[in-house]
Amino acid sequence: MRYLYALLLCASFVAPVYAKQPAYTVRSTEIKQQPFSDAATVATLSEKASVNILSRQGGWVRITSESGNGWVKMLSLRSDNTAAKQGDTGLQSLLNVGRSGSSGITVATGVRGLSEEDLKNAHPNPREFEKLQNYAVSKAKAEKFARNAKLKTQLLDYLPLDSKS
């Protein structure tokens, strides 16, 4: 039990916390005790089983479910956003004039500056462009940046479609 607490404590510092994101399985999926394929299996979830995502570590997410708690492969899950579909949390909704017909084009004016209309009406800003150029970094600086965090390059080819099968 103490071990479990330690693990939870660790996870809460290292992994992003999802505040119980609801999701469901897209295939029958094993719940593992650890985030590894060869870890012990806690239970097997059927397809379309509901789970709550707590955190992520690489390709694995820690979940709670009626069948048990543990780790499942992230890509076996899809988020359930029915809970999120309640109203617009964005500030701009207040300024929206509405949506025009079936095109779903948002007619908006105002603060964000990146609506479709804003893009269409934009005028060049040479001053900001100059700032952008000044922020650019050299190859050598990028390499040093990678070394500082011990990032190591990996040899890997691009993936063809359906490379897994």
Partner 1 sequence: MFIRALLFSGLCLLFSFPAHAFDFDLQKVLSIAKKTQQATKTIDEPEEIEIGNGIAANLLGASSLLDDSRAQQYVNQVGRWLSLQTERPDLPWKFGILESTDINAFSIPGGTIFITHGLLQKLNNESELAGVLAHEIVHVLRKHHLAALQKGARMDIASDLAGEALKNKGDPAVLDKAIKAGTEVYARGLDKNDEFEADRMGIVIATRAGYDPYGLPAVLQMLEASNAQDSSLALMFKTHPAPRERLSLLDKIMSDGFDAYTAPAQTDKRFNSEVSQRK
Q: Minimum distance from CB of 53 to partner 1 (Å)?
A: 8
> Is residue 128 near partner 1 by the rule CB under 8 A?
yes
Q: Which stretch binds partner 1 (CB under 8 A): 4-12, 14-22, 40-48, 64-72?
A: 14-22
The conformation of residue 75, written as its DSSP 8-state character, comes to G
Cβ–Cβ < 8 Å for 63, 70: yes
Q: Which of 1, 4, 86, 102 binds partner 1 (CB under 8 A)?
A: 86
Within residues 107-126, the interface with partner 1 by CB under 8 A covers 108, 111-116, 118-126
Q: Per-residue string for binding with partner 1, 17-56, x by CB under 8 A? A: ----x-x--x---------xx------------------x
Closer CB to partner 1, 2 or 148, in the complex = 148
Least separation in angstroms between CB 142 and partner 1:
4
Phi/psi zone of residue 82: left (φ > 0), alpha (ψ -120 to 50 degrees), beta?
A: alpha
Name 71's Cβ contacts closer than 8 Å, sequence gap at least 6.
31, 32, 33, 34, 35, 39, 57, 60, 61, 62, 63
Residues 6+ apart with CB under 8 A from 31: 41, 42, 43, 44, 45, 63, 65, 67, 68, 69, 70, 71, 72
Q: Which of 3, 85, 97, 102 binds partner 1 (CB under 8 A)?
A: 85
Token code pair at residue 123: 């005028």
Q: Say whether residue 9 binds partner 1 (CB under 8 A).
A: no
Among 8, 10, 41, 143, binds partner 1 (CB under 8 A): 143
Distance (Å, rounded) from C-alpha 139 to C-alpha 123?
Answer: 31
Closest distance between partner 1 and the C-beta of residue 58, in Å? 5
